[in-house]
Structure 1
Amino acid sequence: MGNDASQLKGLEIDEKPTETTDFWCHYKATIRDSCRYFGLNGDGSVSVFKGETIMGPLWTVSTPLEKFCNNILKYRHPFIVRYLSAWQQRSTFHLATEFVQPLAHVLSSQTPLQKCIGINNILQALVFLHEQGCVSHNNISISSIYLSGDGQWKLGGLQYLCSFSELTPAYLKQARIHRYDKAVDPNEDSNQVTTKVDQYAFAVLVEDVFKGCNNDEVSHLNEFKEYCREFLQNSDCKKRPNLLEILQHNFFNHEFISVYKFLSNLPLKGSDEKMHFFSDILKCLKCYDEETVAKQFGGLLLSRLTLLDHTARKNVIPYILKPRYDRTQNGEQNGFFCVTIFKEYLKPRVIQLFSVRDSQIRMLLLSHFSKYVNVFSHEELAHQILPELLLGIKDTDDDLVSATLMCLSELVPILGADTVVGGKRTKLFTDGRPNSNDSIPKSSDEFANRKSLQNKQCSENIFSINSNSMFDQTLVLNERPTPVGGESVDIESTQYILNLKNESDEEWDDWENTNRSLVPMHDCSSVQDDQETNNILQHGDIYPHEEQDHSVLLQKAGLVAKSKIKDISELDIKSKVEQTKKEDDFDFFADMTPVIEKQKVVLLKDESNQELSYKLNFVPGNEEDENTGWEDTWND
């Protein structure tokens, strides 16, 4: 802390401040590639306070922001703003905390029950400072309270905090210039007891927070307001009660507050108390506004201690992790929160829980995965849920791996097999069903009762499944289809198929029998089997002359033939694989076959040489004189 090296890596601070005070500017920031610890929504949201040097008698040693930083670093409490980091950059001091926003920005949207819970949180933080820290806050007001990402009120503004020994009238006088005027006791300078300053300011805070609220909206609200005016704002400081005594008032002990306190202090409760509490908590919470319950109890109901409690896992968690839809199927019990509330307040918690490396918590999430998987978007499933599930299949716990694989199967219809399985896939299985649709009865679908994700509501469209999938219907055939790749080919199977083709269409009714098994009547592969069958008919084992149903004869003949079969593979219908090529097939590689043949030589006739040869081949006849053709003057 105190140098540039302490700055959080990947920190991006917004340019526009969320709040500007006399001492600092409050910014919203984001940490890239951060764990989900910093923000409820998993986006790494944090708050950054920037403070400059302030002149004043109280800030000679350190600035107001530095004092605030030192105090939240020293006094840690669930209802005090959580410290993350701090660094000095030039003349500006930076403080990074959990993501918070000023209560003044959202106070108008808070319900009376939320305000009641918030006041309880602030009072518990003040009791911690007074009782355990022996310090006084000295600056209690709406401006010193922040709202965290999960909707909890957090105490801030600890720049005026000091120990009771240092709390003097002079100190209060120096700090008065920046304190909330309404929260300052008019008789503060004359009071000899200065340890009751926070009581007066707390009473003013209650008045400001519940301004405009009806007294009947929260139990004992009117009584508590009168209690604050009469005792906490009493002009005599000695008559003001301690902050710990205020927690005993009925305003902080009605049913809604009691449930909140029990969940907050769950580690301190016994087994019997937790068993009784979790058995009746849902009935109690149904009496209150659903959104208010989700805001205040969503994180507590899905906390680590609640998830590990046996009674809560049985009576509470199954209904909390199940969104409530408008329609229910087969009379199933509905969830506690509606889908809209679940998405807004419970879904971020579930995403956080998937990053927890606890086998019991992971198994609990996996066992109810099919109930809430539909509320996530494709991006959330692919980038946040799926990586955690893929990590789970590498664990050494077989039960955890088995449950993880079942959850991965739920993601296949939503994200697609390519996203879930990854890698290149190929067609390895073929559909061995006959082409006839009559042989596939619809009533035999054993997967019909299995629930599909397509029948449930989903936040986004899911991928369609191929209607020709082999899992669509269970096959109940009269004969076993030929296995993929074919079986042994022999002459007997070919002859058997030829005999089947010669049979008439009316004889197909004989194939169906009560046992729905194949009954071969003529085994052409063995003449000896036919002769034995005829002998049985002749010797009276089967009486063909009696008027019996034809199907009965088939059954008896099938039983005789079955006793002689040594291997079940003999029941298969064996067909010869035709090697003929279809006319529709086109060989794209035919032109690529090399052709090697002898070069053809073409001889051209030479007309000039032929004419010359004709002239040289002249032979005179015998009857002609050798002097014929010579002129008379040749000898002259």
Structure 2
Amino acid sequence: MEYLKSLGSAAVSTIVQKSGLNLPFSLGAKNNAFEGKTIWSLYDATKRDDGSPVSVFEFDAASNPHKKKHLPLANNALKKLRTIRHPDVLKFVDAVTTDTTVYIMTERVRPLSSVIDGWSSKAAKDRETWLLWGLHRISVALSFVNDQAASTHGNIHIDSIFLSPSGEWRLGGFEVLSNPKDESAVLYTLGTLLPDPNTYASPEVKSSGWSILKNNNPSAADSYGFGLIIHFVFNPSQLAPPTSHPPHPPPQPSSRGAIPGGIFPLFKKLLTPDPRSRMTVKTFLDVGMSEVAGEGSGFFSHNRLVNICQDLDNFALSGDSEKSNMIRMLKESADSLPPEFATHRVLPALVSALERGGASASAASIVPLLLQLGTNVSIDEEYVTAVIGPVVSLFASPDRGVRMALLDNLDEFKDKMDKKMVVDKIWPHLQTGFTDTVVILREATIRAISQLSDKLSDRILNNDLLRHLARLQSDQEASIRTNACILVGRLGPTLGYSTKRKVLVPAFTKALKDPFVHARVAGLMGFMATIDCFELDELASKVIPSMSFTLLDSEKLVRDQAFKAIALFVKKLEEHAAAMVCYKSVLPSRTDDCDTNSRGSQKQQGNRVRCLHRSVLQGRMHPARRIW
């Protein structure tokens, strides 16, 4: 659409502006590979109200008068897409029409024809699994159109099939979809207006025209087209089979190509020239889903992706054993799942099950699985949206199984979260674990803090967190008291200056008086780990006196650690005290040069010496510096 290019991708067409209409989307790039294959132009676009990605099918007869004869087909496609709602049919979002243009906004999709070649390089087994999964979705959609809607699609070919963001096949191309009872049905009168109609038309149409379909089963023409699609997806580089040309001979084994041997007999029945004996798509689907042994049966029911989709739809309502089987199957096949399917289909389904509380018993297995499937997401922005966002939202879950699984696997995703996300979305829910009645959850919460401490704000570190840890040092569980003391020791260097002086000595001293031997050892090790956090005068006046009584502790483990700690602090003080002596030896020679007869001069010298000793003791002056 050339007139849009001058206005930019977010612009609306001049015709729509003159009509006083506003398009509910902003157009993006055109899919040039799709151009000319149907009556539509296909654009990537975004919704104006929320910025979500969509696709826009544009029919524009204003800039190309020769297309005006196709306007009834465009209007019919819009009408049918509005009314036929099915999970395997292209999802309709919105539409805008004028006298000469039709815009249909759908979910974001890609044409199947632009993707099929990329699968030729995949492993043969994975490619066959993917293709059969897609054919299953189209056969379900066609069965719905033919049986429930009692209509004929009439336009079944590769360019009528699209892929959703999750990689699932969607049926579109409703330009001539008609019900024989519909007085305004366009299939029987305007079918010849379809682009290249003879390529995909069934034998009866080629011999007697489109009106003959009104007297046949609604599925007859669609079944033939479905057979041609099977040939194309498995053999994209080959021409259409000879049966598509008069006199329509039955397919020969030599024309099978990559079509699986199990479905080749059914493929031949779909291409039977006589519409009365031709296999219907519904029968093809039933045979594929059958568990009973028979010719080509079970190729859908034994397909891994088909089973995963069915299990995901019922996951929240399944029993624990069924969920366990499902999770095991996903783990075994995680590395071979199509990346878009894992990201946009499997991950949201598992997260939804956890959020609804329908999978608490399996939470410990689901959360690691979410993170495993997330490795398929290569773009950081998509990873945050598809994995981190849902996982972080699970911290709000009241289910202890979910919360415990998140804490146990925190190491797998902590580096993907920024500081704002941790402070705003995780900490408010994480801190509730400090007061949980379940011991193991309190312990896991303490362990999690050590992994997230570098992403917590100063206010949380120096206020909220320390209050929780102070309370946990009086916990009834000895292991929690011990771990709380260890965490204080690890956090010590990151605390503010005034917080260190107020908190560290009381926290470690309390641990030294704990009846649990390992808590007392943790207190001593906490003092040792934070030795650089104390002023030199504090080491002599507060730290050593606070821990000296443990030299005679009843437990040898504590006594040994106490002597090590005392030795460490004494050594540091000895080194400092030795540096102080040199200044006293210098004092007499310097005072001789002063006016010793003056009382004021002597007093001044004394003050200077005391000031020097205090400065060195407090670590504020290098011992080698001379001030005289």
Structure 2 counterpart of 1:20, from 22, 31, 35: 35
Which residue pairs with 2:272 in the alignment? 234
| Per-residue deviation, 1:475 | 2.1
Residues 76 and 168 of structure 1, relative CA distance in 2, 3 Å threshold: closer
| Per-residue deviation, 1:293 | 6.0
| Per-residue deviation, 1:149 | 0.9
| Per-residue deviation, 1:202 | 0.5
Residues 306 and 378 of structure 1, relative CA distance in 2, 3 Å threshold: closer
Question: Counterparts of 1:411 and 1:6 in 2: how far apart (Å)?
Answer: 50
- 8 Å contact kept, 2:270–2:279: yes
Which residue pairs with 1:541 in the alignment? none
The superposition leaves residues 73-122 of structure 1 with CA deviations (integer Å, 9 ceiling, x where unpaired) of 21111111112222247954322211111111111233221111111111
Question: Counterparts of 1:371 and 1:393 in 2: how far apart (Å)?
Answer: 13
Aligned-partner residue type, residue 35 of structure 2: T
Residues 372 and 200 of structure 1, relative CA distance in 2, 3 Å threshold: farther
Is the aligned partner of 1:82 residue 2:94? no
TM-align CA RMSD: 5.8
| Per-residue deviation, 1:259 | 1.7
Which residue pairs with 1:314 in the alignment? 361
Give runs of aligned pairs for residues 216-227 of structure 1, distance below 5 A.
Answer: 221-227=260-266
Among the aligned pairs, what percent are the same residue?
Answer: 16
| Per-residue deviation, 1:145 | 0.9
Q: Which runs of 5+ in 2 are unaligned?
A: 1-15, 120-126, 238-252, 288-297, 468-480, 509-520, 535-539, 557-609, 617-628
- 8 Å contact kept, 2:151–2:180: yes
The superposition leaves residues 563-609 of structure 1 with CA deviations (integer Å, 9 ceiling, x where unpaired) of xxxxxxxxxxxxxxxxx867769xxxxxxxxxxxxxxxxxxxxxxxx
Bigger Cα Rg: 1
Structure 2 length normalisation: TM-score? 0.55
The superposition leaves residues 348-396 of structure 1 with CA deviations (integer Å, 9 ceiling, x where unpaired) of 444564698997598776443346656669786467776554786999x
Which residue pairs with 1:161 in the alignment? 177
Structure 2 counterpart of 1:129, from 145, 158, 163: 145
| Aligned length, in residue pairs | 446
The superposition leaves residues 508-540 of structure 1 with CA deviations (integer Å, 9 ceiling, x where unpaired) of 9998213389xxxxxxxxxxxxxxxxxxxxxxx
Structure 1 counterpart of 2:75, from 47, 66, 81: 66
Question: Counterparts of 2:312 and 2:98 in 1: how far apart (Å)?
Answer: 38
Which residue pairs with 1:476 in the alignment? 524
Aligned-partner residue type, residue 57 of structure 2: F
Give runs of aligned pairs for residues 20-419 of structure 1, distance below 5 A.
Answer: 20-21=35-36, 22-31=38-47, 34=50, 44-53=52-61, 62-88=71-97, 91-110=100-119, 111-166=127-182, 171-172=187-188, 174-179=190-195, 180-188=197-205, 189-190=207-208, 192-193=215-216, 195=218, 196-211=220-235, 221-229=260-268, 231-249=269-287, 250-256=298-304, 259-260=307-308, 262-263=310-311, 265-266=313-314, 271=318, 274-285=319-330, 288=333, 290-292=335-337, 295-296=340-341, 299-300=345-346, 302-303=348-349, 306-307=353-354, 312-315=359-362, 317-322=363-368, 337=373, 339-340=375-376, 348-351=385-388, 353=390, 366-370=403-407, 381=418, 388-389=425-426, 409=449, 412-413=452-453, 415-417=455-457
Choose 164-173 or 239-248, whichever is displaced more.
Answer: 164-173
Q: Secondary structure at the match of 1:237?
A: coil
| Per-residue deviation, 1:23 | 2.0
Which residue pairs with 2:571 in the alignment? none
Q: Which one has the bigger helix percentage?
A: 2
Q: Which runs of 5+ in 1 are unaligned?
A: 36-43, 325-334, 430-443, 455-463, 486-495, 502-507, 518-579, 586-636
- 8 Å contact kept, 2:234–2:258: no
Question: Counterparts of 1:51 and 1:407 in 2: how far apart (Å)?
Answer: 60
Q: Secondary structure at the match of 2:90?
A: coil
Question: Counterparts of 1:173 and 1:427 in 2: how far apart (Å)?
Answer: 76
Aligned-partner residue type, residue 405 of structure 2: H
Structure 1 length normalisation: TM-score? 0.55
The superposition leaves residues 191-250 of structure 1 with CA deviations (integer Å, 9 ceiling, x where unpaired) of 55252110100111111111179x9xx999322122121x21112211123332222222
Residues 347 and 57 of structure 1, relative CA distance in 2, 3 Å threshold: same
| Per-residue deviation, 1:5 | 5.8
Question: Counterparts of 2:331 and 2:165 in 1: how far apart (Å)?
Answer: 24
